[in-house]
Structure 1
Amino acid sequence: MLGASWFATRPAVDTAPAGCADGAHSQVMAEIAEGKERIAARVEDLKVLTGREILACGDVLSSIVDNVRALVSETDRTVQASLARSEGLTSRFVTEMQEDLLAQETAVTQVLLLADGIEDAIDAINGLAQSSHMLAINASIEAARLGSHGRGVAVIADQMREMSKTVRTTADTVRSSIGAVRQGLPPVRERATSMHERTRSFIDVVAEQVKSTSLQTDAGSAGSGRLDAVIELSNVALSHLQFQDPLVQKLTSMNRDLDVLEGRVRRVLDGDVDLAAAEDDRSPGGVEPAPGEVMLF
């Protein structure tokens, strides 16, 4: 803005006719008024442009926030589902191993009970063999007493004696086999228990790996779509924020208009009433975008 001191020190305007000066002043004032109107219109355009872009950015950013919240919620649900699924698999494996171990222990117990029953039967057979042996002895005594008439009894006594020996031998063999079974079953039970514990440890390790992999996979698959949406919305927001380019262009145009007006006023106040020399300073009313710049709006 030009101060009053500048007018006080300014050299007087000489020989210009008053009518010509008044006409120049009127032309300058008209151009100033026209420039002000053009500037006011551009400022109003900038207000509308800025308001529209701010609203658009607000909508986009609101959508981004909603997508991020949904992404966090989806990820949390996915993690919980993965944990539940992994825990379910681990629990099922452990339950199956416990059932297998219980079945093995039950089978071992049943075999031991069967061995006890067999031993009882062997004891009964041994008792029968002992009785047969005693009968054979009695038959031999009776055959000796009868003499030649006791030959049949003697044959029966020999057969009973042989049968008693065979029964005893068989009973001893079966008892020995049962003893071996009794000695082998406890280690089998111990190995089954040890195998169960090792398998359970292995299942725990595998479950942790599966859980970690499942969480990463599920979280990645659940978040990829939302992240793509967030990226797309962010790009939209950035495109809306590029309204700074036309804003700068319009402000540059207004600045040029003001420079032209200031130059014209200076010439008139300096006494230069011939505005033809300043015709090249006339603002075109706008500015074209620089090469490489894109007018978005």
Structure 2
Amino acid sequence: MFDWLGFKKGLPLWWSYRLNRGLKADVEDIFEGIAHTRKELLTNWTSEYWSHLERLSDQMLLIAEERTKSVESWCLSMDKLFASTRNRAMDLSEIFLLDEQATVIFSSYSKHVGVRYGAGTLITEGLDYSRKGSKCLYGPFGDPLTLAIGPSTSAFHDKMTLLYIVPIMEKGVWKGALCGRVPNDVIGDLIQRESGHVYPDSGDNYIFMARPGLNKQIEPGIALSRSRFEDRTFTHGENLKDGVTTDWGTVSIKEHTELEIMFTDPATGKLHPGVANTIANGSNLFVEFPGYSDYRHISVIGKGVTFQLPHCPDVWGMMCEGDLEEVYRIRSIGWKIARVQMPLIGGFALVTALLIYLLIGGVSPLMVSLIIGFMNLLFGLWVVATLHRKAAMPVVENLQKISQFIRINAEGKGDLTQRIDHNQFGHDETKELAMWINNMIDSLEGIMLQVKRAASDVLSNQKVLHQSTVSTEGSTERMSEIIHDMIRSIRRQLKDIDIAKDVVGDMQGTLQALELKASEHIAVAHTEVERIGEKMGQISAKVADTNRTIVTFMETTQQIRSVLQVIEEISSQTNLLSLNASIEAARVGEHGKGFAVVAGEIRKLADRTRRSTEEINETVQLIYKNAKDAFASMEEGTQVVEEGTQLVAAASMILSGANAEDMQKTQVVEEVVGLMEQIAEVSMENRKISTEVEGKVQELLADIVNVRHTSNHVEVITDFLQQLVNQFHLTDSRRK
């Protein structure tokens, strides 16, 4: 009956389970929910940090050419990009860049620069995997440099490391990698979330290797995350640092849980049933008596799942467990009332029988009835008073404490840093309610903090967007002025060409009669051609300036698109966070309505931000397309100007040589006339192209104004979102 537990350990656990067997379905839902939310949290966190590094990689491409021109300027730009990324991705302790020889050429930790990762180094396997062009989440592995750099966001810190590797490919060839270092204890914080732990005495969520894909040296069942009971931080009893004593030896670690312990049952030496069944089946749920034996040979129950994080070659497993004793420790209010009632009823029956026995002989029936009725009245009053004092009042007091705590956070204006001290409650439904309210408040505080950071990120990126828009508007206006100047120059050139054509025409008509004066006419034509050549040079310079301005303008629009991507991601995260807040609020029913209203408002604001951002993105794409069209037109104009310059040079050479051969002056003049007509056609085409470019620039100016207005609208929405979140008192140092 008691299986591997034995009678002494098994009987009290069996009794607790029997008393609470009606809670089995609820316990299953609890562990299913814990496992699902922790798995989703890890997946979303990993995806978020991939997006941070991918965006940084795209931004680095925009400044890649600076390195060939000025290394100092490139380093300054890289410093700004890395600092901006670390401000958003705070779990990263370091970002570094490798070249094609796997040498660190830039890092947010300067002492790391110059280190080369050749064959047989700590991250060789991860780099080899990335050389195929695939991103790689590599680890965990021990790296002393992680310990030297220091922690990022976790209060715990050791050398265990996770590494994000983004390959840099050029025409299918590996040219290096962008890497992000995360202290591995961060994932322990993500899945533990101590302040809202459902089972504070024994609950533990831990990750282990399920199926190694890249890290073949890590066997299935090896720990990949820190345990809550690694040291004395969360337990004052036996822990893994001091050693956990079993009948089959002591289970202990030296430095940290990761990679040092395999989750085996000490009685069998094999993987304990929870881990073994999870690896074999992909998931495992067991919440019944007698539970299963864990690495301490203690009865535990819980849920196990396997999962694969984005771009991680290995399959991991996660156990969400609690000791069977704590999970089924609860004694319901009904049971407590029954325990009070049973001795009272027994005492009442005993006293009644004794009275009847004493009075039945010499007292009249009427007197016996009156005495028994009076005794029943007194006993009934005593029962009511006892039940009120020992059963009802403790429950009422506990409910009042809970009600007072909820009232603090009602109507969306509360102090989310406070928690109910559930140790003040007995092991009944009121303690369960207090624990779940703490869990909900903890979740809401985490969500609100993320919403607050997301709103701050949106606002800062919106300011960058606004600055870029203003800069782009200025560049567009300067480009418009340059094009206006170019068109005026072209018009003057056309007038000069008309004059030259008239001069050459006059020269052709009178050449036969005035052969001696042909040289003078040729000299005049030569002068006019030289003037045209100068104008062509000016136009060529204007076109080159316009081309450079358009290129700068296109780069600016690309930066705007990058900023918009950040805002879109943040608004999506905000929407997801608000949905999570609604779910958490719904879990506590009536008491969570205030939070549900706030979550709904946040979701509406996030949706409005998303729509505004999409509108800006569409406008920026149109701007970029028009800028590309303008650039293509100016390229065509450049070719036309070059053609005109060549024609002018040819005409000048012909006129220069005409003075030496008087007999060929007529032929020369005819050739010059033909060239002048071609030059006129080129100039007309150039003016047409320039007019088209001018129209496109005006369209760009209108679009930029629209972007600026929409950007201001996003800023207003974000300000309101911040005001909404700032109604809550939050612990700013709290991360997850």
TM-score using structure 1 length: 0.41
Judging by fraction of residues, say which structure has more helix.
1
Greater strand share, structure number: 2
